[in-house]
């Protein structure tokens, strides 16, 4: 059985109560970050990372060449060429990016961003930040629910 000391019990209780109040959120580095209703319904939030110069010019999963100066991202399951709004939950900054690659391939991360996108979110120095991801649109998508169910299918 898991034993928690008094401090951990209080933190766990506060997190649970906060989730009841805000509806949905993620905890990162002992902080609770609330999600917008749309991000919560999309079910996509977690830790973002970024990738840069090492990948410059290499082919992405979509066949285009990676460019650190473009607003692009890698996601494991969203259809290629999907546009998403990524919001840094620590500072509220957001950016719209095009998913043109696959990844990230490290457990616990939900999206890899280009250097340009990471700069817009103010996360280059930190490297990792909690984010919410909202689907904006994709080529040939009929409905948002189609996009969301496809994203979670794999």
The parent domain of residue 16 ranges over 6-153
Asked, for residue 1, whether it belongs to a domain, the answer is no
Asked, for residue 120, whether it belongs to a domain, the answer is yes
Reported confidence tier of residue 1, pLDDT bands at 50, 70, 90: very low
Are residues 39 and 134 in contact, defined by beta-carbon separation less than 8 angstroms? Answer: yes
Name the pTM for this structure: 0.70
Asked, for residue 41, whether it belongs to a domain, the answer is yes
pLDDT at 53: 84
Asked, for residue 29, whether it belongs to a domain, the answer is yes
Kindly give the pairing relationship between strand 129-137 and strand 83-88: antiparallel
CB under 8 Å, gap of 24 or more: what pairs does 140-147 form?
141/79, 141/82, 147/78, 147/79, 147/82
Asked, for residue 100, whether it belongs to a domain, the answer is yes
Asked, for residue 21, whether it belongs to a domain, the answer is yes
- Domain of residue 35, CATH code: 2.40.40.10
Give pLDDT tens digits for 73-131: 999 999 999 999 999 999 999 999 999 999 999 988 999 999 999 999 999 999 999 99
Give pLDDT tens digits for 27-56: 655 555 555 555 555 558 899 999 988 889
Total domains in the chain come to 1
């Amino acid at each position: 059985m898991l034993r928690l000391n008094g401090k951990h019990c209080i933190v766990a209780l506060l997190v649970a109560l906060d989730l009841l109040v805000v509806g949905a959120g993620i905890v990162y580095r002992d902080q609770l970050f609330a999600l917008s209703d749309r991000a919560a319904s999309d079910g996509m939030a977690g830790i973002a990372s970024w990738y840069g110069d090492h990948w410059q010019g290499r082919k992405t999963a979509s066949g285009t060449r990676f460019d650190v100066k473009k607003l692009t991202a890698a996601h494991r399951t969203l259809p290629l060429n999907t546009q998403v709004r990524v919001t840094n939950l620590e500072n509220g900054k957001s950016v719209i990016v095009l998913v043109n690659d696959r990844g990230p391939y490290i457990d616990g991360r939900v999206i890899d961003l280009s250097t340009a996108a990471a700069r817009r979110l103010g996360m280059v120095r930190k490297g990792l930040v909690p984010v919410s991801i909202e689907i904006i649109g994709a080529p040939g998508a009929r409905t948002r629910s189609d996009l969301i169910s496809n994203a979670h299918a794999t």
